[in-house]
């Protein structure tokens, strides 16, 4: 049996649903010249104005990743910066000064982990706010266009964030028996 209804998700209406649509459109077009003009424009569409042609990175197959490295990094950030303790804490009962002093400890620990385990460089060397011209074929994976993006390259704008790129990662090696899901062991004081 043929489905006689159309779903709002964009499915095409069945043949049986199109019959009443056709009659409705016929009588509405006879009674309403504006509606008839809109139907006529469907047969003679006007070209749409060109949208921004932002180069897209080549589609590459997805690769399988293991969560172990991410879990290991979370564990390091917890050990050195107590990041998880800070993020999981309900801060509504603390003053801004208390939160600020705790944030300084978290910030210092995070900087230590990043410096010890990663080499980070900026994607762009210019100062933030500097005028930038992006030629056709710029690397869309390392530069994201924001704001009123219309037309095609070259694009002219200003640098709002220099971006970050990791050039080296030095995470410790894990033994097979290590459970990376334990980000911080529970502590029992004796």
Average pLDDT over residues 21-30: 71
111: tokens are 């900087």
Quickly count: other Cβ atoms within 10 Å of residue 86's Cβ.
19
Q: What angle do CA 141, 60, 121 make, to 5 degrees?
A: 30
Mean model confidence pLDDT for the chain: 85
User: What pTM, to 2 d.p., does this model score?
Assistant: 0.60
Average of per-residue pLDDT across 15-19: 76
pLDDT for 130 beyond 70: yes
Evaluate if residue 4 carries a pLDDT over 60: no
């Amino acid at each position: 049996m043929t489905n006689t209804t159309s779903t709002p998700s964009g499915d095409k209406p069945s043949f049986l649903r199109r019959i009443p649509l056709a009659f409705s459109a016929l009588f509405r077009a006879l009674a309403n010249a504006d509606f008839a003009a809109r139907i006529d424009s469907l047969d003679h569409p006007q070209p749409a104005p060109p949208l921004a042609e932002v180069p897209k990175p080549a589609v590459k197959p997805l690769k399988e990743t293991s969560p172990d490295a991410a879990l290991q990094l979370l564990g390091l950030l917890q050990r050195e910066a107590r990041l998880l303790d800070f993020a999981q804490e309900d801060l509504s009962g603390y003053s801004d000064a208390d939160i600020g002093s705790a944030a300084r400890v978290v910030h210092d620990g995070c900087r230590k982990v990043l410096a010890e385990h990663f080499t980070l460089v900026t994607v762009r060397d210019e100062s933030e706010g500097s005028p930038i011209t992006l030629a056709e074929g710029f690397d869309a994976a390392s530069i994201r266009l924001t704001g009123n993006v219309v037309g095609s390259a070259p694009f002219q704008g200003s640098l709002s964030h220099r971006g970050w790129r990791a050039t080296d990662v030095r995470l410790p090696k894990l033994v097979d028996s290590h459970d990376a899901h334990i980000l911080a062991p529970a502590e029992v004081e004796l």
